[in-house]
Amino acid sequence: MRTKTASALIAIVALLGIAAADPLALLAEMRSHVHKIPEVSQAVPTESLGKTPCVDGMAGPFPCDGIDLLSFTPISEFAGLPTYAPGLYSSIRGSDVWGWTSPETGDEYVLFGKTNGVAFFRVTDPTAPEYLGTMLNTAAAQLVWQDIKVYDNKAYAVSESNPHGMQIFDLFRLDGVTDAQDWVMDSFYPLNVAAHNLAINEETGFAYIVGGNAGLAAEDQCRAGLHIVDLKTPVPTFAGCYVEEGGVGVVGSLVGPLGALSRYVHDTECVVYRGPDADWFEHEICFNSSETHVAIVDVTDKLAPSHIATVEYDRTEYAHQGWLTDDGRHFLMGDELDEDANAGMPTRTLVFDVEDLDNPTWQGTHYGQSQSIDHNMYIRDGLVYQSNYASGLRVVDLYDIDDVDNDPTNGNELEEVAYFDVFPDNDGTSFSGTWSNYPYFDSGTVVISGYDGLWLVKVQDEVFDDIIAARPDHDLADR
């Protein structure tokens, strides 16, 4: 504990020194993520836990409200051995997560990113998840960052590990399997550098690879913008680039102001737009979280994507990830570094009004109940499921989103309706706890991933019932 905590402090101090001396180097550090050294938990169990209801604010060792624990599997039980020497961390750690439901069997599966690959779990019975093995990370230099999405019953995975490319795996291979094994990918889409993230528009069958550079001078062919891949072809095929939000690596900024050339799309959500702006109805639109701002892009023509608008906000540190509301009227985003950079600032969710895509505005801010760092968020049925590192999974009702503004004193904020804290040690500004979540299983099982393992939880029926009783027209009423 002392050694790792000391290492984290040294890294932070070094980072601050870098920032003072050279903001270009700081940006490189942000993109290479070396500042993200997690605090080692003294409270998360090292053995599996089964079903544990949330009673009197606790589910076993985990603080909670309105969310029951179905099971917990520590990373040590499915870490395996490094296939190559791991980088940055001295042990296998967990990262991103996604889900898949087999159309043939109805079984639900978790796809869990970790340093040495993508772990597969059958979670049809979420109180007894079955570990089925790992699709191995074949990169020579392994890093914890894996990102996975699903299209047409195949998993697609990218990684900061290099060289990794985009791995492709036929998920039907998991049906009927009972023994854990090392899995080999079915096919591969090559990338010349590492990639940080991946979005897939399942309606159109296009993948959008982002964060495609090494943070300094190396870059992918789309200059760290949107690298577009057609997944509908028998072999995934390069379809185009959006380079306006890209750049030439941090070193390239030496020829101009910071950010002028060195740009980078960190994450994106791409949808067939059916929101209120008739000018863009049925266009394929991407909402990019691009370090210093949100950019809205028309990618209908993959060979000639076009920038629609950019929207900025105050106290910008690192525009990280966001999600569009179901009605297409608002975009919610988290700035990953603003809580740490502004002492005492609660977890901040930025709300953008995107009813007019040509003129988006920063409408306001929702502040959370702690000062933990926000990471990934996803929206379902009028609720946003937020993975906020040390404070865990937070479920927030979007019903009153039109009232959100930038005055923190008038109470015009969203209502948190439930939470499950996966890092009981504290709710501070550390990169510990939950990385991401997946709230889309029909069963109601919510998946939480983190450095320390896999949590399967479920929001209590009473939480949903209370929301619907108070607001009969809530989106939950149709669930």
Query: For 161-181, what is the mean pLDDT?
Result: 94
Which candidate, 262, 243, 264, places its Cα nearest to that of 253? 262
CA distance 465 to 460: 9
Which candidate, 321, 317, 258, 260, places its Cα nearest to that of 288? 321
Residue with more model confidence, 430 or 270: 270
* Residue 107 contacts residue 163 (beta carbons within 8 Å): no
User: One-letter amino acid identity for 237?
Assistant: T
Tell me what the pLDDT averaged over the chain comes to. Answer: 87
pLDDT for 436 beyond 70: yes
Q: Are strands 348-353 and 62-65 parallel, antiparallel or unpaired?
A: unpaired
Q: pLDDT (tens digit, 9 = 90+) per residue, 20-29?
A: 444 445 555 5
From edge to edge, which strands make up the β-sheet containing 206-210?
Answer: 197-201, 206-210, 226-230, 237-242
CA distance 411 to 81: 50
What percent of the chain clears pLDDT 70, i.e. is strictly above it?
A: 85
**Per-residue confidence (pLDDT) for residue 29, from 0 to 100:** 55
DSSP label at 284? Answer: E
Question: Encoding tokens for residue 250?
Answer: 């941090």
Query: For residue 459, what is the enclosing H or E element?
Result: strand 453-459
Q: Bin 433: left if φ > 0, else alpha if -120 < ψ < 50, else beta.
A: left
CA distance 105 to 41: 38
The dihedral sign for the CA sequence 424, 426, 427, 432: negative
pLDDT for 179 beyond 80: yes
* Residue 1 contacts residue 432 (beta carbons within 8 Å): no
Q: Give the CA angle between residues 105, 108, 110 to the nearest 5°.
A: 140
**Per-residue confidence (pLDDT) for residue 408, from 0 to 100:** 76
**Per-residue confidence (pLDDT) for residue 358, from 0 to 100:** 98
Whether pTM > 0.85 for this model: the answer is yes
Q: pLDDT (tens digit, 9 = 90+) per residue, 314-362?
A: 999 999 999 999 999 999 999 999 998 898 889 999 999 999 999 999 9
Band of residue 47 on the pLDDT scale cut at 50, 70, 90: very high
Band of residue 35 on the pLDDT scale cut at 50, 70, 90: low
Residue with more model confidence, 262 or 80: 80
Q: pLDDT (tens digit, 9 = 90+) per residue, 392-411?
A: 999 999 999 999 998 877 77
